[in-house]
């Protein structure tokens, strides 16, 4: 089987996150979820949530589904790198994405979420596309939806084609040859820590010479920005007049009138180019804009988030434990 769903950015003004529709239960309850290659829990806002933690999100109601079955004695609790959290209980449920169904998917229903989720009306939860070793369900860890449907897919892959300020696609079981230009360049991933973790071969700021250096990064569709080592970030903004590491935001900002240089990353000999305009994340006041490239801080690796992904077609190949990039 193959399946395709739209990946829609929110909010309209800047691409903070991308959500896609997931159908739950019988009759179908369709919720918009963030597809997150950096985690491995499938969890949803539910009717078990306190009203104070809900602000417009659609809620999954297990009692309204004839196919939901409580996974007795199982709970989950997750904390993301940005400090956001959610937790709850577990059911087995029919979960369908782009027409691809798995009848007894572990569906984690939230009975509590942190403010970052409560205050985001665009997302009713997350669908983890990381490796199942990261799943937080106890006492027995559960498989991701992708792991469960993998044997039924035409090819053991999913393809991510996010776009700037426009809907893109997540495709399961296929690579759409018409979606990209040139060849797909693959590189091995290390999934031992549950991430789609790769080594990039270097970077280039604008038209400056390419700098060969290994960049150890995870490909994370659930992270908005491109998080890189301090030295690379400094070299990038050195070419943006008026940019600064803003004291109060603890992040690089720049004058919205600035012309941003492109950012190029290497995958072997392949060069992936992020246009300068894609590096502007959004306006924070009349003249100041927020950089889409930021310091990874004390993380043990870089994060290739949406700012990078939206400039590429990215193939997550579980069959050959590799990841591929192509221009578009």
Ligand X SMILES: O=C([C@@H]1CCCNC1)N1CCCCC1
User: Site residues (CB under 6 A) for ligand X?
Assistant: 36, 38-39, 80-82, 220, 222-223, 299, 303
Q: How far is the CB of 85 from ligand X (least distance, A)?
A: 10
Strand order, beta sheet including 280-283: 244-246, 251-255, 288-291, 280-283
Nearer to ligand X, 127 or 313 (CB): 127
Q: Which of 310, 308, 299 is nearest to 80 (CA)?
A: 299
Nearer to ligand X, 140 or 193 (CB): 193
Give the integer Cα–Cα distance in Å for 230 and 252: 11
Region of residue 56 (phi > 0: left; psi between -120 and 50: alpha; otherwise: beta): left
Residue (143 or 184) nearer to ligand X, CB: 143
Q: Which is nearer to ligand X, 227 or 326 (by Cβ)?
A: 227
Which token pair is 279? 């590096």
CB of 197 vs ligand X, minimal distance in Å? 10
Of residues 147, 220, 306, 317, which has the active-site annotation? Answer: 220
Range list of β-strands (E), 136-277 = 157-163, 166-172, 181-188, 197-205, 211-219, 226-228, 244-246, 251-255, 263-267, 270-274
DSSP 8-state code for residue 178: G
Strands 29-36 and 42-44: unpaired
State the nearest-atom distance from the C-beta of 50 to ligand X, in Å. Answer: 23
Provide the token pair at 222.
């659930």
Contact 195/38 with Cβ under 8 angstroms?
yes
Question: Does residue 36 carry a catalytic annotation?
Answer: yes
Residue 112 CB, nearest approach to ligand X (Å): 18
| CB nearer to ligand X: pick between 104 and 141 | 141
Strands 100-113 and 42-44: parallel
Active site residue 147: no
Inter-residue contact 126 to 34 (CB < 8 Å):
yes
- Overall residue count recorded for the chain in this entry: 328
CB of residue 67 to ligand X, shortest distance in Å: 29
* Nearer CB in complex with ligand X: 173/222: 222
CB of 310 vs ligand X, minimal distance in Å: 16
Positions marked catalytic: 36, 220
């Amino acid at each position: 089987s193959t399946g395709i769903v739209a990946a829609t950015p929110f909010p309209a003004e800047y691409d903070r996150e991308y959500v896609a529709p997931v159908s739950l239960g019988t009759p179908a309850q369709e919720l918009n979820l963030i597809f997150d290659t950096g985690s491995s829990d499938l969890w949803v806002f539910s009717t078990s949530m306190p009203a104070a933690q809900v602000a417009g999100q659609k809620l999954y109601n297990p009692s309204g589904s004839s196919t939901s079955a409580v996974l007795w004695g199982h709970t989950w609790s997750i904390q993301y790198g940005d400090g956001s959290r959610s937790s709850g209980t577990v059911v087995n449920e029919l979960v369908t994405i782009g027409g691809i169904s798995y009848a007894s998917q572990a569906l984690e229903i939230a009975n509590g979420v942190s403010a970052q989720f409560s205050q985001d009306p665009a997302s009713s939860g997350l669908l983890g596309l990381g490796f199942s070793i990261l799943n937080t369900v106890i006492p027995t860890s559960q498989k991701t939806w992708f792991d469960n449907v993998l044997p039924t897919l035409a090819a053991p892959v999913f393809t991510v084609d996010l776009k700037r300020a426009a809907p893109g696609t997540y495709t399961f079981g296929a690579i759409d040859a018409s979606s990209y230009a040139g060849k797909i360049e693959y590189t091995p991933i290390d999934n031992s820590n549950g991430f789609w973790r790769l080594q990039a071969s270097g970077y280039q700021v604008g038209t400056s010479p390419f700098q060969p250096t290994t960049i150890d990064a995870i490909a994370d569709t659930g992270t908005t920005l491109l998080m890189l080592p301090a030295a690379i970030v400094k070299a990038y903004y050195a070419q943006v007049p008026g940019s600064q590491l803003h004291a109060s935001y603890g992040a690089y900002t720049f004058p919205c009138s600035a012309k941003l240089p492109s950012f190029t990353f290497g995958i072997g000999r392949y060069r992936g180019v992020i246009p300068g305009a894609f590096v502007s994340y959004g306006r924070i006041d009349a003249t100041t804009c927020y950089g889409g490239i930021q310091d990874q801080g004390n993380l043990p690796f870089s994060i290739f988030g949406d700012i990078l992904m939206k400039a590429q077609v990215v193939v997550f190949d579980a069959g050959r434990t590799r990841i591929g990039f192509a221009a578009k």
